[in-house]
């Protein structure tokens, strides 16, 4: 399979170090303070129309909170993550719960080489922000190439909707809100995210999606900082 040119962006761990086994082991506990993985998975099934015949690819799957829950609704889930330590937790949890239709691949958005047939659905949740905007568009183009004609993408991430003139007030509130719902550790993680990672504006993200081969079917603005997009491959 063709390799990427040597000038391709080198995907690396930005922000919180999810390559650290202690961080990987504690990920689910931290995120379940403000997330409900089974309910999120059910909503994704509804929005994308996932069926028992579908193959779903989860980019940036982490410890598999969503991937493992989607497995019960689909034929197969392929979980892709740059951290083998996160995938180790996923595989352990899959074994514990007797889930045998989830496969894992240790790779990034850009380094992943898809060797299976085209997939029916792709999801990526709170992960694409690890890439600068230009490379987000390249990753989205790769996703479009992997999807079947008419296939669906669900992208959920930290995407900003506030006016740039209000960024200090909005981001301070973001950290305060995370502290109130998930404690000091998540507030610190949010601060690291803002400083070191690559979240962008909704109008930029929408241009990236549309320029990379997707139409936006639905946009869900959860707050000034979280947006979800249901998209179709053109």
Please tell me whether the overall predicted TM-score, pTM, comes out greater than 0.85 for this model.
yes
Q: Is the CB of residue 49 less than 8 Å from the CB of residue 73? A: no
Supply the pLDDT for residue 14: 67
Low-confidence residues in the chain, pLDDT < 50: none
Tell me the per-residue pLDDT of 46-62, one tens digit each, with 9 for 90 and over.
Answer: 999 999 999 999 999 99
Read off the tokens for 44.
């994704």
**CATH fourth-level superfamily of 21-233:** Vaccinia Virus protein VP39 (3.40.50.150)
The pLDDT value given to residue 13: 66
- pLDDT at position 12: 75
Dist CA 71 CA 56 (whole Å): 9
Q: What pLDDT does 20 receive?
A: 73
65-74 pLDDT, tens per residue? 999 999 999 9
């Amino acid at each position: 399979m063709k390799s990427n040119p040597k000038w391709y962006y080198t995907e690396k761990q930005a922000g919180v170090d999810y390559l650290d086994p202690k961080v990987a082991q504690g990920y689910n506990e931290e995120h379940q303070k403000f997330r409900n993985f089974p309910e999120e998975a059910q909503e994704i099934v509804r929005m994308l129309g996932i069926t028992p015949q579908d193959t779903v690819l989860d980019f940036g799957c982490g410890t598999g909170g969503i991937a493992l829950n989607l497995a019960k609704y689909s034929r197969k889930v392929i979980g892709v993550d740059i951290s083998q330590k996160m995938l180790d937790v996923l595989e352990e949890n899959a074994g514990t719960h007797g889930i045998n239709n989830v496969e894992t691949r240790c790779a990034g958005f850009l380094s992943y080489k898809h060797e299976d047939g085209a997939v029916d659905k792709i999801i990526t949740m709170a992960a694409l922000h690890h890439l600068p905007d230009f490379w987000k568009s390249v990753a989205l183009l790769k996703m479009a190439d992997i999807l079947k004609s008419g296939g669906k993408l669900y992208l959920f991430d930290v995407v900003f909707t506030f006016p740039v003139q209000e960024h200090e007030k909005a981001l301070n509130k973001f950290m305060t809100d995370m502290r109130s719902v998930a404690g000091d550790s998540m507030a610190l993680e949010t601060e690291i995210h803002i400083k070191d990672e690559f979240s962008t504006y909704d109008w930029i993200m929408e241009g990236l999606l549309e320029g990379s081969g997707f139409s936006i079917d639905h946009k869900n603005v959860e707050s000034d900082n979280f947006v979800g997009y249901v998209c179709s491959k053109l």
